[in-house]
């Protein structure tokens, strides 16, 4: 696939005629949740069937929505008090136009791959903009929209709200959602602080030359890793849930069941022989319902659950064992846990002890652990730029063995796509395991 870049420019916020201009010197410091998360550019690629909207319509909508979601038009900067944050200077979002002299169906990757990186702006180097958009038009008139944003500014929930609002702005209809609500005043520590849970070794760790929570793997590299797409139909998921939940008063959720199934399938495919070895999954937990965040909260509000069990139990026990471990770990990250984290992060212990965040991607190989990201509740299918929802939604290329994404299928039939990073020599085994009955 040869992608030809034709232009690149900044799109600045467009305010309604007669509306007062906002203060472009305002600096919004990062919240405790912004500071604890991954400080990386994240990407997602959407594709739309022809006839697609014009670039002018998309640009007009982007300018309008940036006037509402101003952090996405700002720049990540240090504030006057030395705190990191976003300067609301209306710098703008970068818009790149590109073209491909081929039909989308013939060349677009079916799963994340190095080639797919040509369909979104680059993620590395010094990036001045919080948001970048690449519009790639194909010979069949299909349109790929590659969107990237700085994760330190907004999490997936907030970003998906922005994308839906952008689509409404392109269509010339009111954004409809509650206006963005930022963190100021929301995450106050208790007086006196009450740190009821352990946060060292969970969200934070102490960096030492001899010990790190991210040991390097040896002997294999990202060049040996491929991204596999597993398509789980609605019927298959229903059968898994029924089997895992048999005899349980309340069935496991779709999320708990699929994650448990992938956890077990990966453990089997990896061929792990030490049955006493522990295996852990890092799972993002949305704090909005747990922290009673106001509608429209825009920023990061995520901590992590770490369900843990042994390789032997994953191999020998039924699916319900893994699903219960996931359920219990997520349940423990409740409102009290979120408040305890706020109290700890605001106590000064992080600075005094030189603690570092554990939310960094420094390993190519996670075995025997996993790291997953669920997009099952994000309304990406509601991103309508005037011709209906996307026909194709793809997470970024992420060659980290053991990382996987769950994405609702664009078929709209309740099926789910799991994009799983595996070693090439484990792929055949994983393909055999992915549809195995849970009790086998």
> What residues act catalytically?
151, 384
Q: Which helix (H) or strand (E) holds 246?
A: none
- 288-292's contacts with Cβ under 8 Å and 24+ in sequence apart are 288/157, 290/333, 290/334, 290/335, 290/337, 290/338, 291/186, 291/187, 291/335, 291/338, 291/339, 292/335
d(CA 143, CA 135): 7
d(CA 110, CA 419): 11
Q: Are strands 370-374 and 278-286 parallel, antiparallel or unpaired?
A: parallel
Is residue 159 within 8 Å of residue 93, measured between CB atoms?
A: no
Helix (H/G/I), strand (E/B), else coil: 264: helix
Find, among 139, 141, 96, the residue nearest to 119 by Cα: 96
Number of other residues whose CB lies within 10 A of the CB of residue 343:
23
d(CA 49, CA 192): 56
Find the helix packing angle between 254-270 and 319-332, rounded to 10°: 120
Query: Would you call 271 exposed, middle or buried from its count of C-beta atoms within 10 A (0-12, 13-18, 19+)?
Result: exposed
d(CA 202, CA 358): 7
DSSP 382: G
Give how far the C-alpha of residue 152 lies from the chain's centroid of Cα atoms, to the nearest Å.
Answer: 12
- Rounded to the nearest 5°, which phi and psi values hold at 425? -75, -5
Is residue 232 within 8 Å of residue 415, measured between CB atoms?
A: yes
d(CA 154, CA 367): 29
Number of H helices, E strands in the chain: 12, 18
Per-residue buried b or exposed e for 114-153, using 16+ beta carbons within 10 Å of the residue's own CB: eebbbbbbeeeeebebbbbbbbbbbeeebbbbbbbbbbbb
């Amino acid at each position: 696939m040869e992608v030809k870049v034709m232009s690149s420019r900044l799109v600045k916020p467009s305010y309604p005629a007669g509306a007062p201009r906002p203060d472009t010197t305002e600096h919004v410091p990062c919240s405790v949740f912004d500071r604890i998360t991954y400080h990386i550019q994240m990407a997602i690629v959407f594709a739309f069937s022809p006839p697609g909207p014009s670039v002018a319509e998309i640009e007009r909508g982007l300018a309008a929505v940036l006037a509402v979601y101003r952090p996405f038009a700002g720049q990540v900067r240090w504030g006057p008090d030395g705190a990191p944050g976003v300067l609301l200077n209306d710098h703008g979002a970068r818009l790149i136009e590109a073209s491909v002299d081929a039909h989308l169906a013939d060349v677009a990757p079916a799963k994340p791959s190095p080639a797919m990186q040509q369909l979104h702006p680059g993620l590395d180097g010094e990036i001045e903009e919080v948001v970048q958009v690449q519009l790639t038009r194909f010979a069949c008139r299909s349109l790929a929209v590659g969107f990237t944003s700085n994760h330190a500014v907004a999490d997936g929930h907030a970003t998906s709200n922005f994308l839906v609002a952008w689509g409404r702005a392109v269509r010339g209809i009111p954004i409809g959602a509650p206006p963005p609500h930022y963190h100021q005043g929301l995450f106050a520590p208790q007086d006196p602080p009450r740190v009821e849970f352990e946060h060292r070794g969970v969200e934070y760790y102490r960096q030492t030359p001899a010990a790190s929570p991210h040991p390097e793997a040896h002997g294999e590299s990202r060049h040996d890793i491929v991204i596999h797409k597993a398509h789980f139909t609605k019927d298959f998921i229903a059968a898994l849930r029924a089997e895992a939940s048999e005899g349980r008063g309340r069935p496991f959720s779709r999320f708990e069941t699929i994650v448990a199934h992938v956890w077990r399938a990966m453990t089997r495919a990896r061929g792990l022989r030490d049955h006493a070895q522990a295996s852990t999954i890092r799972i993002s937990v949305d704090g909005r319902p747990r922290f009673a965040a106001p509608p429209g909260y825009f920023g990061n509000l995520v901590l992590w659950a770490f369900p843990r069990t042994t390789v032997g139990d994953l191999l020998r026990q039924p699916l319900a064992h893994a699903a219960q471990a996931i359920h219990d770990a997520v349940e423990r990250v409740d409102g009290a846990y979120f408040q305890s984290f706020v109290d700890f992060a605001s106590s000064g212990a992080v600075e005094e002890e030189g603690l570092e965040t554990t939310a960094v991607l420094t390993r190519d190989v996670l075995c025997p652990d996993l790291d997953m990201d669920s997009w099952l509740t994000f309304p990406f299918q509601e991103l309508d730029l005037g011709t209906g929802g996307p026909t194709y939604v793809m997470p970024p290329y992420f060659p980290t063995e053991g990382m996987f994404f769950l994405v609702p299928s664009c078929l709209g039939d309740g099926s789910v796509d799991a994009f799983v990073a595996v070693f090439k020599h484990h792929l055949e085994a994983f393909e055999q395991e992915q549809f195995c009955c849970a009790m086998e």
